[in-house]
């Protein structure tokens, strides 16, 4: 007969990590290094399941910035060889050459097909105060076969990311009217044009790309390449604000060269005529045209010419639904931890100007639970993988009782060359020919760049890499 749940000492329970992506696996590596039992719950069938969904996209962070030090220390004795630190992996490379080997090494500490549907305190909903902090966390999980389980934990690190909850078309944060009804012609991902089905979907067609971050840049450059081979392929780039010197990123001032090249490639797509920019346009409705195509209407009444497809790359947002019984303190705008939000506000910061932060900025009124990685940034698109690695190093040190190490947060991030951050600001009245405050005006580049500097997107639509 098993012991009652309340008789299980909290110290004997594992720390549950939600998500076997880059930051979740890094957390498990740090826990292992500290001798703390870890249990990683991954909804997908393999490590880095979300990363694999954008496996065709090349990151603009190099390998040297994408491998966590504690993870590398675990992998080294196994004969694992770190990839060339100066090269840029694709999402598939990152998953296959690093994340999966790390998960394999962790063995039964990682469970696949385990979707977390709720987190609470054992026997306590969010209202109850009595003995709350003495109770272990209870994590409700649904397995691939539909079976439900309850797992007790001493602490929880939620590194589940934001990939599954893309933001909609509507500028008010809600789906545009008609968006759901038109879903067959709408995508929220950067297309993989090496896939014949995806190529056929966009070749020779008119596509609207909505967004102003790294993922939108990638889509613009990708569709521009397609237009060279497929006549009639054209893109309408829809921005909620105007075009200024900082619209295309830091260009040659960016300390991540591939990130700078990505913005320049997007500019080349516009300047070469493969894409038209529509500025100050906030989509209110999506309506079917008589021929089945889609017509976008702005909140100001403007109606755009019909398009065959729409690619929505307006950012991501955290899924907080399964944390409803946990006492979180979140910023009312970004949905990030309240102490962290001012440090990452995209109205003020690019990813290069984010201050180092750790367990204190990530803490909540509910002790022992942390949002880490992309999820900790809420709706802010300025996340870097190396930031997430430092987050979990600090968090795990705090869980181990090593406050000195936990408080010693050190991180040097590469500048974007753009003062204005990634820009939740989207004032359509902003000057459209400003040179920007940090970056020189971008120069044209060839869209087809060598592999070492291939434009990449690892920001608002691509968790875990570099910011948009």
pLDDT for residue 428 is more than 80: no
pTM of the full predicted structure? 0.85
Which of the residue ranges 42-46, 186-190, 218-222, 450-454 would you say has the lowest mean pLDDT?
450-454
Residue 401: is it exposed, middle or buried by C-beta count within 10 angstroms (0-12/13-18/19+)?
Answer: exposed
Render pLDDT for 335-376 as a digit per residue (tens, 0 to 9): 999 999 999 988 776 555 677 899 999 999 999 999 999 999
- β-bridge mates for residue 238, sequence order: 210, 278
- β-bridge mates for residue 81, sequence order: none
Please report which confidence band the pLDDT of residue 292 belongs to, taking 50, 70 and 90 as the band edges.
very high
For residues 204 and 199, what is the distance between their CA atoms, to the nearest angstrom?
A: 10
Strand locations in 20-125, DSSP E? 38-41, 110-111, 114-121
pLDDT for 113: 98
Task: Tell me the average pLDDT across 248-273.
Answer: 66
Which of the residue ranges 15-29, 73-87, 152-166, 451-465 would you say has the lowest mean pLDDT?
451-465
Task: Tell me the average pLDDT across 268-279.
Answer: 89
Render pLDDT for 185-212 as a digit per residue (tens, 0 to 9): 999 999 999 999 999 999 999 999 999 8
For residues 461 and 467, what is the distance between their CA atoms, to the nearest angstrom?
A: 9
Render pLDDT for 30-51 as a digit per residue (tens, 0 to 9): 999 999 999 999 999 999 999 9
pLDDT for residue 436 is more than 50: no
């Amino acid at each position: 007969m098993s012991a009652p749940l309340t008789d299980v000492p909290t110290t004997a329970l594992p720390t549950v990590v939600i998500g076997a992506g880059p930051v979740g696996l890094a957390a498990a590596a740090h826990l292992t290094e500290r001798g703390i039992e870890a249990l990683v719950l991954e909804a997908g069938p393999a490590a880095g399941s979300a990363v694999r969904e954008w496996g065709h996209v090349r990151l603009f962070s190099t390998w040297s910035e994408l491998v966590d030090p504690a993870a590398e220390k675990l992998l080294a004795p196994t004969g694992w060889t770190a990839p060339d630190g100066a090269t840029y992996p694709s999402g598939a490379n990152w998953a296959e050459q690093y994340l999966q080997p790390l998960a394999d090494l962790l063995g039964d500490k990682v469970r696949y097909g385990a979707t977390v549907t709720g987190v609470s305190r054992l026997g306590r909903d969010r209202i109850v105060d009595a003995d709350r902090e003495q109770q272990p966390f209870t994590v409700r999980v649904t397995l691939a076969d539909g079976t439900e389980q309850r797992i007790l934990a001493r602490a929880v690190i939620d590194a589940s990311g934001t990939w599954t909850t893309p933001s909609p078309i509507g500028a008010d944060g809600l789906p545009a009217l008609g968006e759901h009804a038109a879903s067959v012609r709408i995508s929220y991902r950067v297309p993989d044009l090496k896939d014949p089905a995806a190529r056929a979907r966009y070749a020779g067609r008119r596509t609207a790309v909505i967004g102003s971050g790294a993922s939108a840049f990638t889509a613009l450059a990708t569709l521009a390449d397609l237009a060279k081979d497929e006549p009639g392929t054209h893109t309408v780039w829809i921005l909620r604000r105007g075009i200024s010197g900082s619209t295309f990123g830091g260009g040659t001032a960016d300390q991540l060269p591939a990130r700078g090249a990505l913005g320049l490639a997007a500019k080349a797509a516009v300047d070469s005529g493969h894409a038209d920019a529509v500025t100050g346009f906030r989509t209110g409705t999506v309506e079917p045209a008589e021929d089945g195509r889609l017509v976008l209407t702005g909140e100001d009444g403007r109606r755009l010419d019909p398009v065959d497809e729409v690619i929505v790359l307006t950012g991501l947002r955290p899924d907080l639904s399964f944390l409803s019984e946990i006492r979180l303190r979140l910023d009312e705008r970004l949905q990030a931890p309240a102490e962290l939000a001012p440090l990452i506000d995209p109205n003020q910061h690019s990813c290069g100007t984010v201050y180092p932060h750790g367990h204190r900025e990530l803490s909540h009124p509910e002790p022992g639970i942390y949002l880490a990685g992309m999820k900790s940034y809420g709706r802010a698109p300025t996340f870097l993988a190396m930031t997430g690695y430092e987050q979990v190093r600090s968090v795990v040190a705090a869980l181990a009782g090593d406050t000195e190490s936990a408080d010693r947060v050190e991180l040097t991030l590469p500048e974007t060359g753009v003062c204005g951050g990634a820009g939740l600001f989207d004032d359509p009245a902003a000057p459209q020919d400003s040179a920007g405050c940090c970056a020189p005006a971008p120069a044209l580049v060839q869209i087809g760049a060598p592999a070492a500097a291939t434009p990449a997107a690892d920001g608002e639509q691509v968790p875990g890499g570099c910011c948009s």
